[in-house]
Structure 1
């Protein structure tokens, strides 16, 4: 596959989360797909990825993953996205706050034979927790406690 084809498939994965298009999961996610962002032992494959998207769309009203940067090389595509949404369901042990958040993610997809086989992600969960009021960022220049 060309870099352009790999990138096109990675970008299309956004339809699953942004639009709730579970058909895209069935079309683009390989049966043996592994999501390394999911908890250990989580189900794999297209149905599992669609279920994750459905759950996220239930936790975050008006959830959007906007692509800011994207590139592909070989069988991998990398997307830097800004996630935004309003917190209406429990997430990472945090009860709904109805607060609107906006945080960055980086997603990497491995694509072969027109299907996504693996996914890795890095999310700014500390910034997310700060925006939800679950964590206070130390002030710049504040004294550090002695060890």
Structure 2
């Protein structure tokens, strides 16, 4: 694959699978030897674990991943992402608040045979938790 194809593969994966929850397209994007280095330890580090994570995330949040920057070299690409989310279900013990929250981070993909073979992510979930707890723990509000 050339650099533009590597870049576009990652962008399309984010848009179709993450943003539009088209889980039936996982096989279009994931190599049969796919390894996800960013999943919670309770999940297998493969396509099954990724699917479970995608489904759990979508039960807790309506989410949209925006790409802020991307650098691609050879068969690797890294994306700086911003995730815009609405809290619609239980997450980290916090019942749905309807709050709109956001976080930023990075996703790194390695490509082999035209598909994603490895993924690493650094997404700040603690920022989300802090934002949600602030929404929940406001207490009584006195009008100004």
TM-score of Structure 1 vs Structure 2, range by shorter chain: 0.7 to 0.9
How do 1:77-96 residues align onto structure 2 when only pairs under 5 Å count?
Answer: 77-96=77-96
Q: Distance in 2 between matches of 1:92 and 1:110?
A: 30
Residue 22 in structure 1 maps to residue 13 in structure 2: no
The equivalent residue for 2:130 is: 130
The equivalent residue for 2:76 is: 76
The equivalent residue for 2:51 is: 50
Deviation at 1:131, TM superposition (A): 1.1
Deviation at 1:59, TM superposition (A): 0.8
The equivalent residue for 1:114 is: 114
Deviations 1:51-81 (A, max 9, x none): 32222111102x1001111121112111111
Q: Distance in 1 between matches of 2:93 and 2:36?
A: 21
TM, length-normalised to structure 2: 0.82
Q: Distance in 2 between matches of 1:104 and 1:27?
A: 26
- Asked if 1 retains the 8 angstrom alpha-carbon contact of 2:39 and 2:50, the reply is no
Tell me the matched-pair count.
134
Residue 8 of structure 1 aligns to a residue whose secondary structure is: helix
Structure 2 gaps of 5+ residues are 135-144
Q: Distance in 2 between matches of 1:36 and 1:44?
A: 6
Residue 33 of structure 1 aligns to a residue whose secondary structure is: strand
The equivalent residue for 1:10 is: 10
TM, length-normalised to structure 1: 0.81
The equivalent residue for 1:140 is: none
Runs of 4+ in 1 over 3 A off after TM superposition: 44-48
Please, what is the CA RMSD of the aligned residues? 1.9
Structure 1 gaps of 5+ residues are 135-147
Q: Which has the higher helix share?
A: 2
Q: Distance in 2 between matches of 1:123 and 1:25?
A: 21
